[in-house]
Structure formats: C-alpha cells, structure tokens
C-alpha cells in the first residue's frame, strides 16, 4: 500500500522576516504547497517566536496551506486564535497535553475547523499514543529537540518513524529538524512523507530543485 504523497514544507522560522512577503513568494515560486510555522512560548521550549498576529499577516500574503506547530504549554487554549488567524492545520505536542487530556485536546483542536496533528519530541515513544492516531490528520516527529533551528538530525528517531509507518500505512508522517538533502533519503526510506526544512531550504541556492528532488522520490 503506497504512502501519502511527499511534500516539502519550508519552515518560516528560517525566513527573512524583514522581507517576509518576498520569501513567501519565493516559496511559492519554488513549488511549495505547504508552509510550516513554528510557534514557541519560552516556556514549553526555551525560545520565543511569534503569535497569531504574525500568522494573520502571513495569511494575507499567501494562499498556501499553513501548518502551525504549537510548541507551547497550553495549546488548546490558543488553538482557536491561531485558526482564526489563518492556520489550516494545528499540531500540538503530546508532552504539553499529557495522556489523560489528549483525546479532549484533539477534539478541541478539531472543533476549530483545523486539521489536527500530534508532535513528538525525540525521546517520546509514539507507540504509547497509537490509539489516538486514527483521530488525527498527521503525526510529526521532531528529529531535533524543539526550540532552536540549525540542530543536527537525531538518527535514533528513525526507528519511531519506521514503527509508525508500519502500523499506519496511510497516515501523513512529518519530520522536523535537521532535514536537508542528505537526511531526506533516510527519512523517506523510513516512511515519512512530509519534510519540514528550515535553514537547509532557505540556504539552498536551488530552492526549486530542493523541493523537486525530494517530492519526485519514491519511498
């Protein structure tokens, strides 16, 4: 059974926020159809990025699918604001919600009208959360520890990707962290089909080629 289509998601945390509209157009011209937005609160992760106000401005400059990754301590509280700002998909961390509240959290995010994703830190075993995967649109594996860009890929996460793909052949599996032209082959072989790329994408001289090379590969 084939896995879902491959997509590269440029991570806007690596964009030039002084020329954000230009970078959004560049992503579109390169062939991106989805964009990744990292929201950090300085509490769940040791950094701060932006809130719904910036998502709203991004939405005004692009019609691309906005995949908003909430690296925050209370994602359910803020999910409606990010959906109202233009988020098409909202991904929450299982570590921020906890096992007892995860079912209600998924329902709450779904109620906003957004697609729902579950994110996992590199040391979180996804198998404990498999019963909830049928209720979400995607799962995302952090292949670095969240909070800072430019980190090196953590290869131990590959086993989690493989295990998840074997159990859920049609699920969108996204990876975020250390994704570049070298690591793409590994995660595609493991079963991932959505690749978040920040510094590697924005720093590549051939951005269209970066996307095309990844999306034309078969798993």
Boundaries of every domain in the chain = 7-215
pLDDT at 3: 72
| Average pLDDT of span 36-52 | 93
For residue 219, is pLDDT > 50?
A: no
Share of the chain above pLDDT 90, in %: 91
- Torsion (CA) 79, 80, 84, 89 in degrees, nearest 10: 40
Catalytic residue, chosen from 38, 41, 67, 190, is: 38
For residue 46, is pLDDT > 90?
A: no
Query: Cβ distance 4 to 192 under 8 Å?
Result: no
For residue 218, is pLDDT > 70?
A: no
| Average pLDDT of span 117-138 | 97
Buried b (16+ CB within 10 A) or exposed e, 94-119: bbbbeeeebeebbebbbebebbbbbb
Share of the chain above pLDDT 70, in %: 96
Catalytic residue, chosen from 23, 67, 176, 190, is: 176
Determine whether 204 is an active site residue: no
Please state which CATH class domain 7-215 belongs to: alpha beta
- pTM for the whole structure: 0.94
Structure tokens, 49: 């990025």
- Candidates 160, 166, 162, 105; CA nearest to 135 is 105
Determine whether 38 is an active site residue: yes
pLDDT at 149: 61
Residue 193, SS3 per DSSP = coil
């Amino acid at each position: 059974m084939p896995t879902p289509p491959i997509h590269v998601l440029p991570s806007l945390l690596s964009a030039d926020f002084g020329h954000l509209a230009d970078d959004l157009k560049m992503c579109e011209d390169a062939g991106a159809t989805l964009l990744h937005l990292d929201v950090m609160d300085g509490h769940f992760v040791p950094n701060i990025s932006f809130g719904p106000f910036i998502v709203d401005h991004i939405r005004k400059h692009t019609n691309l699918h906005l995949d908003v990754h909430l690296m925050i301590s209370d994602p359910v509280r803020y999910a409606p604001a990010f959906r109202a700002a233009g988020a098409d998909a909202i991904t929450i961390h299982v570590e921020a919600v906890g096992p007892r509240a995860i079912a209600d959290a998924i329902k709450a995010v779904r109620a906003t009208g957004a697609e729902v994703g579950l994110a996992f830190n590199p040391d979180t075993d996804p198998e404990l959360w498999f019963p909830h995967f049928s209720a979400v649109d995607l799962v995302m594996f952090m292949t670095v520890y969240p909070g800072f860009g430019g980190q090196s890929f953590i290869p131990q996460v590959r086993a989690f990707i493989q295990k998840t793909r074997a159990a859920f052949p049609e699920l969108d599996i996204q990876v975020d962290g250390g994704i570049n032209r070298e690591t793409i082959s590994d995660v595609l072989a493991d079963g991932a089909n959505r690749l978040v790329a920040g510094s590697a994408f924005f720093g590549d001289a051939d951005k269209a080629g970066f996307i095309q090379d990844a999306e034309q590969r078969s798993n």
